[in-house]
Structure 1
Amino acid sequence: MKVRFHANVCDQTTSHVAKALHLPFKELGRLLQGDYGGLMEHLWIDLELLESRIKADAKSLHSFRFQKRVSGYSRMGLPAISDSYNVGHYSVKPDFHKITTLQNDALICYVVNLIYESTTVLLEKQKKLGGFNATLFRENFVQASRSLGYEVTSNVL
Structure 2
Amino acid sequence: MKVGIHASLCSPDMSRIAIALSSPFAELSKWLEGEYGGVMEHLWIDLELYKHGARADGADRYPLRMQKRVSGRSRFGLPSLPDKFNVGHYSVRPNFRLIARLPKDEILLYVFSLLYVSTVVLVDNEKLGGFDAATFRDRFLEWGRRFA
TM-score by length of 2: 0.84
For residue 147 of structure 2, what is the aligned residue in structure 1? Answer: 150
Determine what percentage of the aligned residue pairs are the same residue. Answer: 49
Gaps of 5+ in 1: 152-157
Deviations 1:111-130 (A, max 9, x none): 000000000000041x3211
- 1:84 deviates by 6.7
Query: Are the equivalent residues in 2 in contact too, given 1:70–1:87 (CA < 8 A)?
Result: no
Query: Are the equivalent residues in 1 in contact too, given 2:65–2:88 (CA < 8 A)?
Result: yes
- 1:150 deviates by 2.3
- 1:93 deviates by 1.2
Closer, same or farther: CA 12–70 of 1 in aligned 2, 3 Å: farther
Aligned-partner Cα distance in 2 for 1:143–1:32: 10
Aligned-partner Cα distance in 1 for 2:84–2:64: 17
Paired residue secondary structure (1:131): coil
- 1:70 deviates by 8.0
For residue 122 of structure 2, what is the aligned residue in structure 1? Answer: 122
TM-score by length of 1: 0.79
What do you get for the CA RMSD once the two structures are aligned?
A: 2.3
For residue 11 of structure 2, what is the aligned residue in structure 1? Answer: 11
Aligned-partner Cα distance in 2 for 1:70–1:92: 26
- Structure 1 residue 132 corresponds to structure 2 residue 131: yes
Query: Are the equivalent residues in 2 in contact too, given 1:112–1:150 (CA < 8 A)?
Result: no
Closer, same or farther: CA 10–67 of 1 in aligned 2, 3 Å: same
Gaps of 5+ in 2: none
Aligned residues: 137
Aligned-partner Cα distance in 1 for 2:84–2:54: 26
For residue 103 of structure 1, what is the aligned residue in structure 2? Answer: 103
For residue 67 of structure 1, what is the aligned residue in structure 2? Answer: 67
Aligned-partner Cα distance in 2 for 1:140–1:67: 24
2:19 partner amino acid = K
- Structure 1 residue 24 corresponds to structure 2 residue 24: yes
Deviations 1:43-86 (A, max 9, x none): 0000111111325xxxx811100111187x8x9x9xxxx96711
Aligned-partner Cα distance in 2 for 1:50–1:5: 16
Aligned-partner Cα distance in 2 for 1:119–1:70: 26
